[in-house]
Amino acid sequence: MNAITDKLSRSWQLFKRSVLVIRQNPKLLIFPIVTGLLTASIALFFLAPVVLMLLAPHWLAGTRLQALANSFGFLRLHGGTNFNFYIQPLGSAILAGFYLVNMFLATMSSVAFNHEILEALMGRPVSIIRGIEAACSRWKSVLLWSLLAGAVGLMIRALEQRVALVGRLVAGMIGLAWSVASIFAIPILARESAFSNPFTVLSKSAEAIKRTWGEMLTGYAGMQGTNLLVLWGSILFWVASGVAAYLSSNAWLLLVTGVPWLLAIIAYGYLAGIASRVYLCALYLYAAEGVVPGQFDATMMNLGWKMKKTAG
């Protein structure tokens, strides 16, 4: 019980300090929305024709878009009473390319966001334009990292799907090692414009972790305790709402209470996601540069990690 209480207490401390950074820099709240809209609009430009081909092929029958898809070997549409299609090998390669484009755009957004979080932690004002410009100036590094991360993700997924139980175990271990070793990759891309080799980025991230926290590290916990607290609170809330609705014979009570709960959960999830990224950037500054941001203290730099239990 004490272990659970300590975990909740640590997570709550980290959450409060991270939210303090957000309160001091409210532009951090709108930054993901702006970059997300920009990323979505660019991705939609590339993906809309493909989605249309897959979801509504009958709209394309006899059009130039169908002829173009057929001529480039992307997919074949067969008419009749029902439309059937199949993706050709070149089409699969094109879809893989779209996957990498999507990863590149998402990484660009993350680099821009992390750049401004790091600026905020160093006491400088947040600028959305400056963050986007910083990410664009590092596009080569971001592209190379996206290729590496995408290849690792595809490899892990292939292992999970094709090698049954053993494959899932191996994929799980590879995924865990990758997630820990690469945890500072995005802050490094945001902070260090000189690094373009993705393996150098990965090495620098792993070295910062090992140098600061040593071999006892087994994973990143972040603010999981706070999420657990919200989960427990939600369960109690719905139990109480269900009992109240039953006793009052009024099912509408569940709707009246459920809508505010859903909105609150969405708001918390959004805020928690930004707060978690703020703390991760604070950890990076501490590990890479020995700097403890003013909103935190040195003892908090060890609270977000899972450590091996020592004997005795």
Query: Which residue type occupies 21?
Result: V
Amino acid 116: pLDDT: 95
- Give just the sign of the alpha carbon dihedral 197, 202, 203, 207: positive
CA distance 238 to 233: 9
Residue range 251-266: average pLDDT?
84
pLDDT tens track for 80-116: 444 455 555 565 666 677 778 878 888 998 999 999 9
Amino acid 311: pLDDT: 45
Amino acid 92: pLDDT: 64
Residue 76: which H helix or E strand, with range?
strand 75-78
Q: Quick check: 297 pLDDT over 60?
A: yes
Residue range 225-234: average pLDDT?
79
CA distance 3 to 10: 11
* Contacts (Cβ under 8 Å, ≥6 apart) of 265: 230, 234
Q: Quick check: 22 pLDDT over 80?
A: yes
* Contacts (Cβ under 8 Å, ≥6 apart) of 144: 196, 197, 198
Q: Quick check: 181 pLDDT over 90?
A: no
Tokens standing for residue 296? 């935190």
Mean pLDDT comparison of 85-94, 113-122, 295-304, highest-scoring range: 113-122
Distances (CA, A) of 45 to 35, 38, 52, 79, 105: 16, 11, 12, 27, 12
CA distance 186 to 190: 6
CA distance 199 to 208: 14
Phi, then psi, of 297 in degrees rounded to 5: -135, 170
CB atoms within 10 A of CB 82: 8
Q: Quick check: 177 pLDDT over 90?
A: no
Amino acid 305: pLDDT: 67
Residue range 251-259: average pLDDT?
81
- Residues forming beta bridges with residue 306, ordered by sequence position: 219
pLDDT tens track for 27-76: 999 888 887 787 777 666 666 665 555 544 555 555 555 555 555 445 55
The chain-wide mean pLDDT, for the chain, equals 78
Q: Quick check: 228 pLDDT over 80?
A: no
